Structure 1
Amino acid sequence: MKMKLFKVIILVLSCAALGQVEGKSERPNIVLLLIDDWAWYGSSVRMDDAMSNSQMPLAHMPNLEKLAAQGMKFRNAYAGAPQCAPSRVCIQTGKTSARSGYTLVLGKNQPDSDYDTRKTYEKLPLIPNTSDISIDADAFTIPEALKPLGYVSAHLGKWHMYSDPGAEGYVVNDGDTDNVPGSTIAKLKRMPEDHSDPKLMFSITEKSINFMRDQVKDGNPFYLQVSHYANHAFHECLPATREKYVNLPEVQAYYKKTKKTADTVNYKQDPAVWLGMLDDLDGRIGAVLDELKKLGIEDNTYVIVASDNGYRHKFFPGQAQPMHGAKWWVWQGGLRIPMLVKGPDIKAGAVFDANVINYDFLPTFVDWAGGNPESLKDIDGVSLAGYLRGKKPDSAFLNRYLYFHNPHYRSTMPSSAIVSGSKKVMHFYERPDIPMLFDLSAEDGEVSNIAKKNPEQHKQLFNEMMRYFDQVGARMPKVNPDYDPDHYKKLKDYDQRMTWGPFEGMRALDNDEQ
């Protein structure tokens, strides 16, 4: 009860700080299309015009390409975390996962202590941390920040933050959803011929369009977050869309390599289904864009398309994967995401090369809505509104610090990272003796560890990262006195951890990077 009262007080104070809107507003609408598990290079849009492997050329996504041509493309966009739920909390709160305490999905029955003492980890080198399992009750979220400015907010699709989106200010929502609703045929091996709503893409889009229509009718500016279940496993698409890709030479070669055919492959491992899912997803993006035009609000609406975290797509034929690691890891492959924005005053075909991150969304949205982003307290994001209008970033923005904290195991090792400009320091808590520094302007793939050649630069960034973690009270893993090396080596993820763990000098490229 006290927490709820506190949030009401914050809301009232925000009305004064941001300016209450009366009557019909001409403020811009904001639509965020959040795609699940989507690699920086996993669409038909080339995220770096000079890199042929910064796109998936087999993907057919004309609506996404049109959006990119009409707006701004962000070459160096980051997720706040290398996993869906903590990254989504970053979006809602404007905070790093280290500050929010939500660093991993551990489920609702995780330990109450600061450390995860389950048997899974009892003999590993470190005792990993626990994580918050929901947004803090007193967190100030996007809809709560926009409501004093007259906005009505909706969240449709995947929530996955183990809390009530209605309690966070979303007057229209699908509830506390996780991955399960989007896997509509999980127990099957073949897609049924009458499969009409893969990953719930079509129904989510229909509800989104109805919400927009209602707000336009009522004269309300709105914030709409469409959180698609695509592209999360298990992949799904319309059967007719799959047929467009089955006979592609690259898909047929994949069937042959895996000793399958179009009729025997499990849909969960079928590249024709993955490509079909991208195709259907693009069509749903197009449906939202078309509706904005029909409603006469296209020119007064910001549309953002982004992924919740980085990813490594297993089907990437004929090209080298440009980034190291994958989801769960704080390598670039787990953190870098595609991001496109179109809207009022955004120059068509613009490209932004400076670093941005998804916890910048909250202050940016407040700025767009006519509020003062400086009034937002204890956040880590900054408004991008000026840069979207063409403002040149100064050195302070170009070299600002981005913090990433993943003090957990799962398939990875407890680790953290900090990025400033083109420099990145990573720290694996199992091996504090191996300093790691990368120059991202020289290589996106993080092949060369230059820490030993640049010890002062490594020290400065590492110390800043640890200073910040101490300031925000980040949970840190601790050394396990019961560590058993033989037990550790027997775990199924051991080889992957060693391959993708810390290294000195240059690392060996993975097969799909060559």
Structure 2
Amino acid sequence: MMKHMKQLTLWTLCGIVSASGLAAQTKPNIVMIYIDDWAWNGSPIAMNESMANSKMPALQMPNLEKLAKQGMKFTHAYGSPQCAPARVSLQTGQSCPHSGYTVVLGKVKDEYYDMRPEYSKMPMLPNVSDTQLDEEATTIAEALQPMGYVSAHLGKWHMYSDPGKHGYAVHDGETTNSEGNTLTTGLKKGEPKPKYLPKDLSDPKLMFSITDKAMDFMEDQVQAGKPFYCQISHYAMHSGRECLDVTRQKYLKDPLVQAWYKKNNQDPEKITRKNCPANWLAMGEDLDGRIGAVVDKLKALGVYDNTYIVVVSDNGYRHEELQLQPGMKQPLHARKWWAWNGGIRVPMIVKGPGIKSGSVFNGNVVNYDFLPTFYDWAGGDPSTLQDIDGVSLVDYMKGKKPDEDFLNRNLYFHYPHYREAVPHSAIVSGSYKVMHFYERPDIPMLFDLSQDPGEVSNIAKQNPETHNRLFGEMMDYLKEVGARFPKENSNYDPAAYKKDKNTDKRLLWGPFEGQRPLEQDEI
């Protein structure tokens, strides 16, 4: 009892006792809720109030909506074309071409070009990518540690390195996508994957256990009087749909879902889990429940008002559930794997001290802004951070009006690979965007996103000076940071290329002059 009284007295003298009697810090806590494969329009919150298709029909996420009402919505937030590069950018404050981590390729031996047989007949020789988080890079946890922060990373890591070696005191290890696919994790070789969703699933996508561990971590730090950074990296909303049966049953009764079943002549008891819209909707609502659990825990610990909560996705996506609403078209072009808007635009909500309720920020922000922003929140000077591309967003969250330099700064995206897409790069500068496809350097591409968010009209020929300026700045930057570049393949075989399973999509979503032909499910 005496020891407890002495500790309590010390905390009182330091001015850091919360109303609940638990230790609280003057430094703010930071909770990052990182959601996998979540489209810009993948929530019930309209990312653009003038676009009905900028939010998802039927889906209910009341806890996320509360955070948006209490905090700031970012209408022009950018991630990366794929999940692992996005996570590296988040941790290091570096763009993908700067970090060298531009895609997940598995184990490759080549140092520059990807010489695997499946790419030997392609038009270009694609590049390899870095295969793990650079040990020399400073992560969020390492940046915050000198200022007294304890950090945890729970859930999907997917950077092929040990989180413990990058400053994280609590973590789940070198996790990938596999751990979150609970219905297939541990299957023996040759064992068939379950097609349907079992009714007894209690921890879909591990979202409940991940959240429980996060809440335990937060409680431990509050009791110890330590400020904390807690990154909850969910496996949802990645494919391999998992949800609670009770939530699924709710969405099976939704009129839009019922109409979809009738139109497509589907039986809800026989449909595969990857094709069932009720599964995806239920996974989203279950995830929202875990967001609510974190909020409730922070309130119970007495630190909610001194905690920043960031909810954002790693990369863009393309949720077909949008079409549950008759006549609805996809608002953005393409999807994950591409630097088209559908692959890199993401939803983003931030709530915390000094952020005005219901505020909206329309400037461009990107995943490599988080490290300097968090460092700024923790009391550090972000201008002292070295070798990063991001900037602090703290002043803008407090209400500062962004100047032209910020609004027109360059954001860079680089995908010199095949896999699902084709080698290409992009630069976003204010409302302008240049796309460059290495297979077709003869087709310049420029878009005015303020008028054309769906990237329908290529205006490069009408605006050659703007295109040439931005293209030059992009290439100069890529060379400056040591980005890898593909090159023409002397062994290119058009017939073999045509037979590749992804070529139709590559041609459909490749470069074009003038206006692209609109697909059936796109604006």
TM range (shorter): over 0.9
Instruction: Report the CA distance between 1:491 and its aligned residue.
Output: 1.2
Query: Aligned residue for 1:90?
Result: 89
**Aligned partner (choices 124, 127, 146) of residue 144 of structure 2:** 146
| Distance in 1 of aligned mates of 2:427 and 2:370 | 19
Amino acid paired to 1:53: N
- Secondary structure of 1:226's counterpart equals strand
- Name the counterpart of 1:244: 250
Which residue in the other structure is 1:466 paired with? 475
List per-residue Cα deviations over 1:364-388 (Å, max 9, x = no partner). Answer: 0000000011111010000000000
Cα drift, residue 258 of structure 1 = 4.0
Paired residue secondary structure (1:53): helix
TM-score, scaled relative to structure 2:
0.93
1:183 alignment partner in structure 2: 181
Q: Which amino acid in the other structure matches residue 461 of structure 1?
A: L
Equivalent of 1:434, from 423, 427, 443?
Answer: 443
Partner of 1:10: none
**3-state SS, counterpart of residue 316 of structure 1:** helix
Query: Does residue 376 in structure 1 map to residue 390 in structure 2?
Result: no
| SS of equivalent residue, structure 1 residue 236 | coil
Q: What SS does the corresponding residue of 2:319 show, helix, strand or coil?
A: coil
Q: What secondary structure is seen at the aligned counterpart in 1 of 2:298?
A: helix
Mapping of residues 74-473 of structure 1, within 5 Å: 74-79=74-79, 81-107=80-106, 109-186=107-184, 187-317=193-323, 318=326, 319-473=328-482
Asked if structure 2 preserves the Cα contact closer than 8 Å seen for 1:143 and 1:152, the reply is yes
1:49 and 2:49 aligned: yes
Structure 1 residue 447, shift from structure 2 partner: 0.2
User: Distance between the aligned counterparts of 1:275 and 1:220, measured in 2?
Assistant: 37
CA distance in 2, matches of 1:257, 1:115: 47
Taking structure 1 as reference, are residues 24 and 315 closer, same or farther at Cα in structure 2, changes over 3 Å only? closer
Equivalent residue for 1:11? none
Contact 1:231/1:277, CA 8 A, preserved across alignment: yes
Which string of whole-angstrom CA distances, capped at 9 and with x for unpartnered residues, describes residues 469-494 of structure 1? 11111000011000011111111111
Deviations 1:308-347 (A, max 9, x none): 0000012212211100010000000000000000000000
Q: Distance in 2 between matches of 1:511 and 1:207?
A: 44
- Corresponding letter in the other structure for 1:449: N
Q: Which amino acid aligns with 1:27?
A: K
Q: Distance in 2 between matches of 1:111 and 1:458?
A: 37
Residue by residue, what CA displacement relative to the aligned partner does 1:102-156 show, whole Å, maximum 9, x if unpaired?
000011x212321100011000000100000111110011000000000000000
CA contact (8 A) 1:438 1:451 kept: yes
Q: In 1, are the aligned partners of 2:56 and 2:321 still within 8 Å (CA)?
A: no
Distance across 2 between alignment mates of 1:137 and 1:258: 50
Distance 2:501 2:101 in 1: 26
TM-superposed deviation, 1:260: 2.1
Shift of 1:281: 0.3
Shift of 1:24: 7.6
Distance 1:122 1:111 in 2: 15
How far apart, CA to CA, are the structure 1 residues paired with 2:490 and 2:265? 47
Q: Confirm or deny: 8 A CA contact 2:112 2:128 kept in the other structure.
A: yes
2-side partners of 1:203 and 1:496: how far apart? Answer: 38
Q: Percent identity?
A: 62
Residue 249 of structure 1 deviates from its aligned partner by 3.0
Q: How big is each residue's C-alpha offset from its partner over 1:26-50, in whole Å with a ceiling of 9 and x where there is no partner?
A: 1000000000000000101111122
Deviation sequence 1:339-363 (CA, Å, 0-9, x none): 0000000000000000000100000
Q: Amino acid of the residue matched to residue 178 of structure 2?
A: V
Q: Indicate if the aligned counterparts of 2:24 and 2:222 stay in contact, CA closer than 8 A.
A: no
Q: Secondary structure in 1 aligned to 2:321?
A: coil
Q: Which residue of 2 aligns with 1:20?
A: none
Q: Quick one: distance in 2 between partners of 1:283 and 1:248?
A: 19
Counterparts of 2:281 and 2:233, CA distance in 1: 19
Matching residue within 489, 494, 497 for 1:488: 497
CA distance in 2, matches of 1:137, 1:346: 34
Q: Distance in 2 between matches of 1:261 and 1:165?
A: 44
Q: CA deviation at 1:67?
A: 0.4
Counterpart-to-counterpart distance in 2, 1:225 and 1:464: 34
**Which amino acid is the alignment partner of residue 454 of structure 2?**
G
Coordinate RMSD, CA, aligned: 1.1
Identify the residue that residue 15 of structure 1 maps to in structure 2.
none
Give the CA deviation at 1:257: 4.3
**Partners of 1:112 and 1:445 in 2: CA distance:** 37
What is aligned with 1:5? none
Gaps in structure 1 of 5+ consecutive residues: 1-22
Q: Identify if the C-alpha distance between structure 1 residues 83 and 26 changes in structure 2 by more than 3 Å, giving closer, same or farther.
A: same
Secondary structure (helix, strand or coil) at the match of 2:129 reads coil
CA–CA separation in structure 2 for the residues paired with 1:27 and 1:315: 41
The answer to whether the Cα contact below 8 Å between 1:25 and 1:150 also exists between their aligned partners in 2 is no
Aligned equivalents of 1:301 and 1:125: distance in 2? Answer: 50
Structure 2: tracts of 5 or more residues without a match = 1-22, 185-192
Structure 2 CA distance for aligned equivalents of residues 258 and 173 of structure 1: 43
| Distance across 2 between alignment mates of 1:315 and 1:349 | 27
Larger deviation: 244-253 or 68-77? 244-253
Q: Distance in 1 between matches of 2:199 and 2:233?
A: 26
